[in-house]
């Protein structure tokens, strides 16, 4: 029995090998992971703002009918889905930095169009552009988090997603607070600001 037990133990992975990747302590992200987490948070806040507030914006600020207002949500969601389905094709042709920069510019331009032009039809186009712009931001940032030197992929993704999803929970109340003290238009300016920050941070956040 003892030789059999010894043979069984010999077949087990060494503790150091088995646990090497798991022993990285979970802590607040720093350095590259912190910036990636902040950008992921901004992307998820922007997504949440459109999902939660686009219909009300069209009704309240553009005096749209209920059916037209609902199209804002639909236009954003459809563009977001199309962008994610085609994400692999786009990422194969654009370097991550260029894609993040282009995504931020497109989302900022779309949201600016929504806020600046008092036309429901133009607003729907703008919401679609925002969806297309944001569609690849979070997946791209999670991918970058898995490739940070010296950090295991699991730890990198966990750190960035943790910061990101905190932003997703905080985003809608933040927009609502601004809207309560000013206007919903002012609240959605946050989306423009975050998208511009993403574009400007692309070179620093991503290695290529």
Asked if pLDDT for residue 114 goes beyond 50, the answer is yes
Contact 188, 112 (CB under 8 A): no
Q: How confident is the model at residue 14 (pLDDT cuts 50, 70, 90)?
A: very low
What pLDDT was estimated at residue 6? 44
* Homologous superfamily of 32-205: MFS general substrate transporter like domains (1.20.1250.20)
Q: Where do the structural domains in the chain lie, given as residue ranges?
A: 32-205
6/73: higher pLDDT? 73
Residue 17: phi, psi to the nearest 5? Answer: -70, -40
What pLDDT was estimated at residue 4? 45
Q: What angle do CA 77, 135, 71 make, to 5 degrees?
A: 20
**With helix as H, strand as E and coil as C, how does 106-140 read?**
HHHHHHHHHHHCCCHHHHHHHHHHHHHHHCCHHHH
> Of 140, 136, 138, whose CA–CA distance to 165 is shortest?
138
Weakest-pLDDT range from 22-31, 48-57, 72-81: 22-31
Q: How confident is the model at residue 131 (pLDDT cuts 50, 70, 90)?
A: very high
């Amino acid at each position: 029995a003892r030789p059999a037990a010894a043979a069984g133990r010999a077949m087990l992975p060494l503790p150091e090998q088995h646990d090497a990747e798991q022993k990285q302590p979970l802590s607040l992200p720093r350095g590259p992971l912190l910036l990636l987490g902040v950008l992921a948070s901004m992307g998820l806040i922007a997504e949440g703002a459109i999902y939660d507030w686009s219909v009300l914006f069209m009704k309240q600020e553009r005096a749209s009918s209920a059916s037209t207002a609902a199209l804002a949500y639909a236009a954003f969601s459809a563009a977001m889905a199309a962008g994610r389905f085609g994400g692999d094709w786009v990422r194969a042709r654009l370097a991550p930095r260029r894609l993040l920069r282009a995504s931020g510019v497109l989302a900022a331009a779309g949201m600016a169009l929504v806020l600046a032009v008092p036309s429901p039809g133009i607003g729907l186009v703008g919401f679609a552009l925002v969806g297309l712009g944001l569609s690849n931001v979070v997946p791209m940032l999670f991918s970058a988090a898995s490739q940070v030197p010296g950090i295991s992929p699991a730890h990198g993704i966990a750190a960035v997603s943790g910061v990101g999803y905190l932003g997703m929970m905080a985003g809608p109340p933040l927009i609502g607070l601004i809207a309560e003290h000013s206007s919903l238009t002012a609240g959605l300016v946050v989306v423009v600001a975050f998208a511009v920050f993403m574009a400007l941070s692309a070179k620093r956040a991503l290695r290529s």
